[in-house]
Structure 1
Amino acid sequence: MNHRNASLRTLVVALALGLAVPLAHAGHHEGDHAKAAQAKGDIVDTAVAAGQFNTLAAALTAAGLVDTLKGNGPFTVFAPTDEAFAALPAGTVEELLKPANKDKLVAILTYHVVPGRYPASRVGGLDEATTVNGDAVDIVAADGAVMVDGANVVMADVKATNGVIHVIDKVLMPGG
C-alpha cells in the first residue's frame, strides 16, 4: 500500500510541475495581486496546484477523466479535499482506484461535475443541479452558507480557465 501511495504522489507531483498558482492567491484582487487572481490553468491544473486535492487528482487519473476536465468545458466542479477522501471508510479510496472499479469511480467523480459555469451567485439560487453522470445533486443555501448533497462548500469560486471549482468537505456519493 505504501508503494501505491508513493506512486500516486509521484503522479500528482508530476502533474503539478509548472502549473497554476496556488489557491492561496485566488482571493486577492487588489494592487499587484490582481494578475495572480486570474485563472491561469484549467480545472485539473488549478486543483493540483492547490495542494489539497492529491486524492482527487489521483482518482481523476485512474478514472481516465483528466483529459475531459482539461477540455474546453465549461465545468463546475464540487471538489472534495484530501481530508474529505480520508474521512471515507478505511480502504474505500484504495478499492475505488483499482482498475476493476473504474466504472464506479467514474460514476462518483462525474457526480461532482456540473456542465456549465456556475459561480456561487448562481449555485446559491438553485435547489438542485444535474451532474455529468445524469443524477442531480441537492443544493441548500441558507444564512450565507451553501451545502451540496450535505457537503459544505468551504471555498467558492476558485477560477479556472475552463470553469469554476467550489471546494467541499465531503465526497458526494450518487444515489446516497
Structure 2
Amino acid sequence: MTTAPMASDSSSAISYVGGAAMYPTKNIIENAVNSPDHTTLVAAVKAAGLVDTLSGAGPFTVFAPTNAAFAKLPAGTVDTLLRPENLATLQSVLTYHVVAGRVTAADLMSMIRAGGGQARLVTVQGGTLTARMQGSGIVLIDAKGGTANVTQANVLQSNGVIHVTDSVSLPG
C-alpha cells in the first residue's frame, strides 16, 4: 500500500479530515468529534473515559485510526472492547496510539534518520511503536508486528497533533 506524502508543518493551517475542518485552535477531542472518519475512535475514547485526558493541556501526538481501520479488526473485536468489563484492555489499546509531546511528521522523519532508519516511540500505554519511512510516507510497526500507514500527517491541534492511520496498532 502506498502512503500519502507528509504535509507541511504550518501551525495556522486548517486541515480537513473526512471532509470536516480541524481547527488548530481546538483540542484533539473538539476536532475529532467532527470527523466522520473517526466515529469509532471517538466512541471508544468516550467509553474508555479518556475524553478529559485528551482534552487536557498535553501536548499529545495521536496516531488516529479511521473507522475503516477498526473495520479491519476481526469481527466483533470493537464490540467486545467497548464492553464495560473490558475497560482496561480498551484503555490500553487507545493509549498505545498516544505519544507524549507534539511530534510532527518532520520530527518523526528526523528521528527515523537519526535512528538509522527507524524511530522507537514510547507510548502513553508504556509500549513501543516503531516508525519507519516507506517512500515519502511513514509506517508504524506495533508490538505484534502489524503495520499502520500514516495517511494524513500534521493535523495540528491546540494540545498536540494527530496523524491519521489506516490500521489499528496493537500493544504486546
Question: Shorter-chain TM-score: what band?
Answer: 0.7 to 0.9
Residue of structure 2 in register with 1:99 after alignment? 84
Distance 1:158 1:21 in 2: 6
Matches within 5 A, 1:56-71: 56-71=41-56
What TM-score does the superposition give when structure 1 sets the normalisation length? Answer: 0.78
What TM-score does the superposition give when structure 2 sets the normalisation length? Answer: 0.80
Distance 1:165 1:114 in 2: 10
> Measured at CA, do residues 130 and 21 of structure 1 come closer, stay the same or move farther in structure 2, by a change above 3 Å?
closer
SS of residue matched to 2:41: helix
Asked whether 1:152 is paired with 2:149, we answer: yes
1:129 maps to which of 121, 134, 138 = 121
> Measured at CA, do residues 22 and 121 of structure 1 come closer, stay the same or move farther in structure 2, by a change above 3 Å?
closer
> Measured at CA, do residues 124 and 50 of structure 1 come closer, stay the same or move farther in structure 2, by a change above 3 Å?
same
Distance 1:47 1:148 in 2: 21
Which structure dedicates a bigger proportion of its chain to strand? 2
1:47 maps to which of 32, 35, 38 = 32
Unaligned runs of 5+ in 2: 1-13, 112-118, 142-146
1:85 maps to which of 64, 70, 83 = 70
Give the letter for the 1:132 counterpart.
Answer: V
Distance 1:46 1:85 in 2: 19
Asked whether 1:164 is paired with 2:169, we answer: no
Aligned Cα root-mean-square deviation (Å)? 1.8
Larger radius of gyration: 1
- 1:44–1:69 Cα contact (<8 Å) kept: yes
1:55-104 superposed Cα distances (whole Å, 9 cap, x missing partner): 00000011000100000000000000000001110000000000000000
* Higher normalized contact order (CA 8 Å, seq sep 6+, divided by chain length): 2
Q: How many matched pairs?
A: 146
Q: CA deviation at 1:138?
A: 0.6
SS of residue matched to 2:33: helix
1:10-59 superposed Cα distances (whole Å, 9 cap, x missing partner): xxxxxxxxxx9853476xxxxxxxxxx75131111211212210000000
Which structure dedicates a bigger proportion of its chain to helix? 1
Give the letter for the 1:60 counterpart.
Answer: V
Unaligned runs of 5+ in 1: 1-19, 27-36
- 2:148–2:168 Cα contact (<8 Å) kept: yes
SS of residue matched to 1:132: coil
Distance 1:76 1:90 in 2: 28
- 2:15–2:155 Cα contact (<8 Å) kept: no
